[in-house]
Each structure stands twice: as structure tokens, then as C-alpha cells.
Amino acid sequence: MSAPSSARPTARRHPRVAVVGGGLAGITAALRLADAGCRVTLHEAKPKLGGLTHSFPRDLGDERLWVDNGQHVFLRCCTSYRALLDRLGVTGQVTIQDRLDVTVLSGAYVGTGRLRRSGLPAPLHLGAALATYRWLSPLDRLKVVPAALALGRVDRKAPVTDDQSFGDWLARHGQSDRAVEAVWDLIGVATLNAPAARSSLALAATVFQLGLLDEPGAADIGWSDVPLQQLHGDAAAKALADAGVDVRLGAKVVSLDDLDAEAVVVATTAPEAARLAGDVIPDAHPADWADELGSAPIINLHLVYDRTVLDEPFVAAVDSPLQWVFDRTAHAGLRQGQYVAVSISAADQLVDLPVATLRERFVPHVEAVLPRARDAELRDFFVTRERHATFRPAPGSGRLRPATRTTSARVYLAGAWTATGWPATMEGAVRSGEAAADALLETRSPLEVGA
């Protein structure tokens, strides 16, 4: 005979959570928390979701282009970002190369270089491409392989690694200025947003180990086939609504005390997080950590031609300030001619130049890399500038990046600038959102009430 129970049944109540910031980090955290049963409100200061990945319309004659604030690419190894795309139901709106394949053109010489992986296991998969890479001398080709293997062995998690400059490390490993330009910076500047000389060895090792040295398919490049706003912000608005998240747009949070929530994920920019949550970020960080971490700009030059000037989805450039050039025609909805975007990272010297100066300076470089542009009519030229595109990935930046957990069990941090180990990327942002949600759930969910 069982004893009569006098206890009331236990109810499990999930906490009310506020997520501040509707970039990829905030979107990820909000979805993960809602999926775990939390009652989530997401506050975004701007009128749309997506943060640093967004798009805007631009009229050109009787056509309307959808322009991204900056070209974004990802790699096959960006597993968390790709899981977010799946969760948003937009995986069908991106393309990933079957096999890493980058055409590299020169602004000074005729010919085509190619960085293409073979079917061999990593790191041999790039051996053939490097052995025949047109833009390196035979001696540099010989020296680049042992340097790549040595980079694969660097302990990227050791603090001493983060204090070193990638440029110094490359010089110590026999890399000439040409090898730095035509191989290491070709990839590194676009992924780190700084040249090797100004990058942390730990962040560079992360990019090259995870992308190029560990798994053969890891560096296959992916990109969106639709405007970023559609891929991220609009898809997220629907997914969040379906998950029961209360999304408030145009809702800048001024103080965390104003939020009616038991727990908060601060997924803003770093300076804003320092302002909102500075008092609960552990002392190990200097008080001015966000200023010290700083930010680095990216600009995109947008050129619309009356005809096709580029046959490939994208090319990279050496002997040229262009870095990477993307065909945006179909994504943007252009019906006549071709729209190309030139993505220039680490654009400190360019970000404040007037459009006319950039046009005068860069159109000849586009014509040098894409000779068919010389005969084409340039129908439109405009510039997008993101002054605070990423944090500065300088040596020593690792110790300035705060962890997800703060000294308050109520407050968690997310954002590409938190201590993810990744440079400021979409993958880093999504990982930070996952980490914040997981830490919050581990600490606070579900609350037992009514027992």
C-alpha cells in the first residue's frame, strides 16, 4: 500500500529571458532558448534583424538592386553557422563549392593562378595546387609547404601563441614578402580582417588549421544566393515568431535593469556590451577592454557594368589592392549587364575616402584584373563602408575578449567579439550565441516552482 501523497505536483517553469541584439549571435541564442522552452523577448535597436549582415535596395534605371552591406562568405567547416541556416530553413539558398577552388588573377601580369584542392587527405590536398601555383617562385613554393605543416602544429589555445604576430611567425618560417602577399594574406586578410603583420598568431592558426590543414573539405567556400537580409534577418524573423519569441524592433535597450527578465543575453556590439554589462564582466578584463579590443573596417566597392566582365562566381587578386571580387548579378536581381562587388578588408586607409576618389583610384585596378571591364560601360559605382566590421585581431586580443559567463547569474554575453577562439566571423557569432544559451540553461533552467 503506498502512502497518500500530500505534496503538490512539481511544476517546471522556464525563465523569462531577454536577448539584447538581433545579429547572428542574438538570433542564435534566442532560438536555442525558445527551443529549450524559455519565454524569450528579443530587443533589437534597428528596425530589422541581421546586425552586421543586412541588405538595402538601390534603384538603377527601371531596375531595383538588393545590395548587401558587404560580401559574406563562409567555409564548410563553419558547422554552427550552417546549423543555423538549417534551423532558419534557408540551406537551399546558399551554394557551397564541391571542392575548394579559387581563381587568383594578377593586376600586373597576364595569366591565371589557381588554388584548388585535390581528392587527397589533408594536408596533402593542397600540395599539388601549391606546387604549381603561378604567383609564387619555385623557391617560395618549396618553402610554403613546410611552413603550412608547421602552422598545423601551433598550439592555438596557448596564451603565448596569441601574444605573437602571425607576420613574425611567417618570417621566422622562411616566408618571403611575396609568399605572404600571394598565399597567406590572400586568405588571412579576408578571414581575419588584418594583414599577417597585425594579426594574432592564435587567430591565424585557428583559421588555417580549421580551414585548410585538418579536413580536406573544410575550406570549400560557401556564399548566399540571395540578399543577406533575406537569408538571415527575414528568415530569422519568421523562425523566431514560429518559436514563440517576442521580437521587438527599433527597441534599443538602455539599461539591463529596465528588462522584465530573470536572465539576459547581451548580444550587442562590444562597446555597447561594455556599457550595458561592464559592472558584471570579470575583473580579469581591463576596464577599457572594448576600447582596447577596438574595431577594423571593411569596405565594398559596387560596380555595375553593361556587360559581363567576370565569368566566375568570384576571383581573388594579387599585385592589386582589390583582394576579392564577387559576381553579385543574380543575387541582387540585376537583369541586364553584370554587378560585381570588390570586398576590401583591413580598409583603414580607405574607409574615409570620398566615393569619387575611390572610383578614380580603383576602377583602373578592376580593369587591370578583369580586362573586359575596359570596353564595358560602368553604369553605377557606389561604396558600402562598415567602420566597425570586426574587432581588431591583433596579437594579445585574446585576453581582451570576455567569456560568456559574467559575475552575475542573470547576465550572459554573446557576440563575435566574445572568447570563442574564432576571429570575428558569422561562425564565431553563432557559436557565441549557442554558448550563451547553453550557459544560461545550465545555470537557470528550468526553475522548479510550486513544490
Which residues contribute to the site for ligand FAD (CB under 6 A)?
20-26, 43-46, 51-53, 69-70, 72-74, 252-253, 267-269, 272, 298, 386, 389-390, 415-416, 424-429
State the minimum distance, in angstroms, from the CB of residue 383 to ligand FAD: 11
Residue 200 or 390 having the CB closest to ligand FAD: 390
Residue 180 or 298 having the CB closest to ligand FAD: 298
Report the b/e string of 101-112 with b at 16+ CB within 10 A.
Answer: ebbbbbbeeeee
What is the grid cell recorded at 257? Answer: 535593469
Residue 81 or 184 having the CB closest to ligand FAD: 81
State the minimum distance, in angstroms, from the CB of residue 417 to ligand FAD: 7
Residue 376 or 430 having the CB closest to ligand FAD: 430
Residue 24 or 151 having the CB closest to ligand FAD: 24
Report d(CA 443, CA 22) in Å as an integer.
23
Residue 337 or 385 having the CB closest to ligand FAD: 385
Q: Considering only the C-alpha atoms of the chain, give the largest distance between any 2 of them, rounded to a whole number of Å.
A: 94
What is the grid cell recorded at 222? Answer: 560557401
State the minimum distance, in angstroms, from the CB of residue 164 to ligand FAD: 23
Strands 263-266 and 16-20: parallel
State the minimum distance, in angstroms, from the CB of residue 444 to ligand FAD: 21
Residue spans of alpha helices (H) in 248-293 = 270-277, 289-293
Contacts of 179 (CB under 8 A, 6+ apart): 136, 140, 143, 144, 147, 170
State the minimum distance, in angstroms, from the CB of residue 244 to ligand FAD: 20
Residue 239 or 376 having the CB closest to ligand FAD: 239
Closest by Cα among 12, 14, 13, 35 to 433: 35
Residue 74 or 135 having the CB closest to ligand FAD: 74
What is the grid cell recorded at 210? Answer: 580549421
Whole-number Cα distances in Å, 308 to 60, 328, 374: 17, 11, 11
Task: Count the Cβ atoms, other than its own, within 10 Å of residue 448.
Answer: 9
Residue 97 or 268 having the CB closest to ligand FAD: 268
State the minimum distance, in angstroms, from the CB of residue 424 to ligand FAD: 4
Strand partners, 384: 300
Burial class (CB in 10 A: 0-12, 13-18, 19+), 133: buried
State the minimum distance, in angstroms, from the CB of residue 360 to ligand FAD: 22
Report d(CA 196, CA 267) in Å as an integer.
29
Residue 25 or 226 having the CB closest to ligand FAD: 25
State the minimum distance, in angstroms, from the CB of residue 51 to ligand FAD: 2
Residues 120 and 127 sit within 8 Å (Cβ to Cβ) = yes
Residue 253 or 293 having the CB closest to ligand FAD: 253
Residue 299 or 310 having the CB closest to ligand FAD: 299
Contacts of 451 (CB under 8 A, 6+ apart): 7, 8, 10
Closest by Cα among 12, 39, 28 to 86: 28
State the minimum distance, in angstroms, from the CB of residue 276 to ligand FAD: 6
Closest by Cα among 405, 404, 412 to 259: 412
Closest by Cα among 198, 222, 225, 254 to 101: 222
State the minimum distance, in angstroms, from the CB of residue 8 to ligand FAD: 39
Residues 431 and 78 sit within 8 Å (Cβ to Cβ) = no
State the minimum distance, in angstroms, from the CB of residue 249 to ligand FAD: 9
Strands 296-305 and 378-390: antiparallel
End-to-end CA distance of the chain: 24
State the minimum distance, in angstroms, from the CB of residue 349 to ligand FAD: 16
